[in-house]
Amino acid sequence: MMKTKNILVASLVAAMTLLAAAMPASADQGLLHPAFASATNVTSIPVGHAEFCARRSAECQPFANPIENVSLTEGLWAELQDVNNRFNTSVTPANDGDLYGISEFWTFPSNGYGDCEDFVLAKRAALIERGWNPSTLLITVVRQSNGEGHAVLMVRTDRGDLILDNQEALIKVWTDTPYTYLKRQSQAHAGQWVNILDNRFEDVAVTAAH
């Protein structure tokens, strides 16, 4: 037990060190720092989320007290890990067709099953219940390397934008994940979405071509 505890402590320290390295020197640099995903114009809301908002309008209102990011302490980092691990290990991935007989249905996990959006909604709700500011917990749509869509939870912290993902046990800075980021919830309004400027792979392609 002591050996396991030491390993967990060492992992936490290592993760906090990596996140500290990603922190910008000043707030002005934060908007351009690669650890922070840049958002652009307001865009369309995903159909599944629009239907979710129609059923649960209280979940999709303007944020009462929006903030740019949360100051990540060791205690809050531990909460992120706890929530991410709890749902990743207690919910079994299943598609909406098998669960509800339709191709897309955003909701909370049902009877221990859910798809990627369900994981995100559950993690977001759990963190809000623990006192996290909702404006820093953003449902985010990405494209996987195989071209398929996927949803993750982007957590905006002063150490960077961190990703809680049901396909990955580790919480990573968004640039360390294998996805192309498309859009996310607005930090002003839970029922609005904004585009994400993600040209990382375009830059790599241009460099390779030269």
Can you give the pTM of this predicted structure?
Answer: 0.82
Domain boundary assignment for the chain: 2-209
pLDDT digits (tens, 9 = 90+) for 115-161: 999 999 999 999 999 999 999 999 999 999 999 999 999 999 999 99
Tokens 């990743």: give the residue: 88
Domain range 2-209, CATH class: alpha beta
Cα(104)–Cα(185) distance, integer angstroms: 18
Q: Which residues of the chain have pLDDT under 50?
A: 1-31, 203-210
1 burial type by CB count under 10 A (0-12 exposed, 13-18 middle, 19+ buried): exposed
Cα(126)–Cα(109) distance, integer angstroms: 12
